[in-house]
A and B are shown apart, each in its own frame.
Chain A
Amino acid sequence: MADNQQIEMVGMNRSAYLRVLAFFLAPAVLIYTLFSVYPLLATIFDSLYLRHEGGALTFNGLGNFQTLLTDETWSKPFWNALRNNLIFFIIHMCVQNPVGLALAALLSLKQLAFRNTYRTLIFMPTMLSVVIIGFIWQLILSPLWGIWKMGLNAVGLGVLFGPYLGQEHTALITISLISVWQFVGIPMILIYTALLAIPDELVDAATVDGLNQWQAFFHVKLPLIWPTIGLVSVLTFVANFNAFDLIYAMQGALAGPNFSTDIMGTLFYRTFFGNQLQLGDPTMGSTIATMMFVIILMGLLVYLYVIQRRIQRYSF
C-alpha cells in the first residue's frame, strides 16, 4: 500500500517507476558489483582452494584457514601480524584521534588567528603520496644524514637518538607515529566540522550558566560530537587493518627487523605476490585476505551494535 502511494505521489505507473529506479541505481550497483562485490566473493571463493606445485587447484574447504591458524609455519606470522596490527591501531586511537580532537577544538576557537593556514598545513600530509611520506621520514630519521639526529644533538638530547627503523622495539612505534602524522588531518577535519555544526546558542547558554571554556567543551561540545568521534574511530579501524603501503614503502615486503613491523597487509602481499625467491601463493593469500575481511567485519559489527547504539542515546 505504502509503495503504491509513493508511486502515485511521483506521478508514474509502476513499471515506469521501476525503470527510473533501475536507471538511477544501475551505475552504482554495476560499479560496486564489478569492483567491490565480485572481487570480494572471488577472494573468498579462492580461499577455499588448495594450490599444488605447478599450479593445479583442488577444493580444500576450510582447510586453508585451519592451516593458517594451526600450522606453526603460518600461524606464527599470522598472529604476529595481527598483534602488530592491533598495536598499530591502538597507537592511532591513542595518539591520532585525541590529537585530531585537540587540534579541532583549538581550530574552532574564535580567537585563533591564521585558522585556515593551520588547517591547511595540518591537512597537507594526508594528501601527499605515501611514497613521498616514507621517503621524507626515512631521510629525516636517517642515522647517517638525518636532521632528527642533528636536531637532538643541537639541544643536547643526542643520547635519545637511535636507528629507530632498524630496532625491533622501536620500528613499529616509529612507523605508527609517522602514519599518525600523515593522517591526523582526517579526524581533525571531521571533528572540526562537527564542532562548527554545534549551535552557538548552546555554548552561549552554557557560558551564561557560568561554565568556563574547558567546562563548556567537556560538558556541552564533547557529548555532541561523540557520534563523529565514533565514526572517526571506525574509519581508523578499517584503514589500519587495511594498511600496507607505508610499511611496504619504508620497510619493504619483509617488514623488518625480524617481522616487527609486519601487519596483515604486508603478510598478505608477501603471501599473494611472493618475495624474491618466494613464489606467490594466490589461494593462501586469499585466505589471509578473507581473514582480514572477517576481522574488519567483526570490528564493524562491534561498532554498529555496541557503540553506535549507545552513542545515539547521548545525541539529541
Chain B
Amino acid sequence: MLKTTLKIACLAALGVCAMAASASAGKLTIESWRNDDAAIWKDQIIPAFQKSHPDIQVEFAPTAPKEYNAALNAKLQGGTAGDIITCRPFDASLELFNKGYLAPVNDLASMKNFSDVAKAAWTTDDGKTTFCVPMGAVIHGFIYNKDIFKELGLTEPKTEEEFLATLDKIKKDGKYTPLVLGTKDQWEAATMGFQNIGPNYWKGEEGRKGLIAGTQKFTDAAYVDTFKALAKWAPYLGDGYKAQAYPDSQNLFGLGKGAIYAAGSWDISTFRGQNVNMGAFKAPPPAAQKDCYISDHTDIGIGMNAKTPNAKDAKVFLDWIGSDEFANIFANALPGFYPLSNAKVTVKDDVAQTFVSWRGQCKSTIRDSYQILSRGQPNMENDLWNVSAQVLNGTMTPEAAAAQIQDGLKKWYAPQQK
C-alpha cells in the first residue's frame, strides 16, 4: 500500500519535472528584479529582438526587488532558475559566478562594445573573466520643479554655495519643501545624498580607488567634508523628514509640493507619469573647484545561467543585448537607465538627456562602497545607510560618521590596516 503510494508520488514528481523541462526547451526565461519594467520588456524589447530572431522565444519573469537575491539563489541551487540572469553589480553576481552558476561571456562578439569601466562591475578581481553583459547605468543628480523655480525666480545652482542659497530662498518663501529627501528608508540618505554629492569631494575614481588601495581613509577631509555638506541640508528638508520614506519623497515632489529632489535618474519615469514640469542639475561642486564629478553607477548587467539547456540561444540573446540596436531601445524605453555600451545613443526624453549630457562635462565614477569594500563584516554599505541617515537626522556628527565607517573598514580590510 505504502509502496504503491510512494511509486505514484515519484511518478508524479517525475512528470512535473519532465513538464517543466519540456516547457523551457527552446524558450529563454529571463530572471530579473525589474518588475517595474515588465511591460517595457514584453511590449518593446522582446518584440524588437524577435523581429531579427523569430525562432527564439523569450519570456521576462521578474521577482520583486527585495526578494530577488534570495529567490535567485534558491532557484539556482535547486536548478530551476531561468536561462538568462539579470545581474546585480559586483559581489552578489561575483559570488554566483564563483559558485559556477553564471557562465563567462568573454567570447561574445558584442563584448568589444564595452569599456573596462563598464565591465568592472561584472568582472573577476583579476580582470580576466567577465560574466555578465553590462546593460544599464543610473546617474545621480538633482531634479527640480521648473514651475516653482519660475514662480520664485530661481536659476539652476552651479556651485554648492549657490545650491544652499537657492534652498534658503525657497525656505524663506515657505510655500514649498525646499529639498525633498527622507531619512526613514536610510538608503535614500546614503545613495541620493552621500553618493550623489560625494564624488565632487573625493574626486571620483581617484578617491574610490584610493580607498580600495588603502591610500585614502574615510577620515580624510574629502569624506568628512561630504558628510558636512550633507549635514547642511537638514534645515531644508521637509517637515518630519525623519519619518519620510522613499515613496513619500516621490509623492511630495511628484505632487508639486517640493522644489528640488535629490534624485537618481531612474526617478524620471516616475515623475513623467505624474506630469511634473521638471529640469535637472548635477551635484554642484564647491565654488573653488573647477572639475566636476558625477555618480554614473553601473547598476544592471545580464548574464547566462551556466546550466541552461539553451546555451546557444542564450548567447545569441546576450550578444544582441550588447548591440547598438538594444542600446537605443533601452535608453528610450526606460528613460533614466543609460546603456553602458559605446554605441551612439540619442535619448529623446529631455531630462534624461540632461543627465546623460553630464558624462561629457564631468568625470564619471561609481558608488565607492560597491567594489570590494562591502565584502566584510561590518558591511560598509549598511553602515553608510545608517550613518548618512544619522548625519541628516542630526544624531551624529560628520566626524563621528566618517570615523565609524573607517573603523568598520579597518576591522577586516587589509589595505586599510596599514
Contacts and interface: CB of A to CB of B under 8 A. Distances in A.
Interface of A: 54-55, 73-74, 138, 141-144, 149, 162-168, 251-252, 254, 256-259, 270, 273-280
A158 B73 CA distance: 48
B105 to A, nearest CB: 20
Given A143-B244, A254-B382, A55 B184 contact: no
A231 to B, nearest CB: 35
Interface in B225-239: 238-239
Given A54-B99, A257-B390, A143 B240 contact: yes
B166 to A, nearest CB: 22
B185 A162 contact: no
Nearest to A74: B377
A88 B99 CA distance: 40
Given A73-B411, A143-B243, A256 B184 contact: yes
B30 to A, nearest CB: 22
Contacts, number: 114
Given A166-B242, A254-B186, A144 B395 contact: no
B382 A55 contact: no
A55 B242 contact: no
Contact of A55 (B95, B183, B379, B408): B95
B157 interface: no
B245 to A, nearest CB: 7
B369 A256 contact: no
Interface string B370-397: 1000110111111001100110010110
B187 to A, nearest CB: 7
Given A138-B245, A163-B244, A254-B385, 6 more contacts: A166-B242, A273-B69, A274-B70, A276-B187, A277-B90, A279-B375
Contact of A252 (B98, B183, B186): B186
A167 B392 CA distance: 12
B393 A257 contact: yes
Interface in B34-64: none
A47 to B, nearest CB: 16
Contacts of B92: 277, 279
Nearest to A167: B242
12 contacts: A54-B98, A142-B243, A143-B243, A144-B248, A163-B242, A166-B240, A166-B242, A167-B243, A276-B385, A277-B381, A278-B382, A280-B69
Contact of A278 (B238, B242, B379): B379
Nearest to B100: A55
B296 interface: no
B393 A166 contact: yes
Contacts of B114: none
A278 B370 CA distance: 10
B299 interface: no
Contact of B390 (A55, A142, A258): A258
A278 B408 CA distance: 14
A279 B244 contact: no
B91 interface: yes
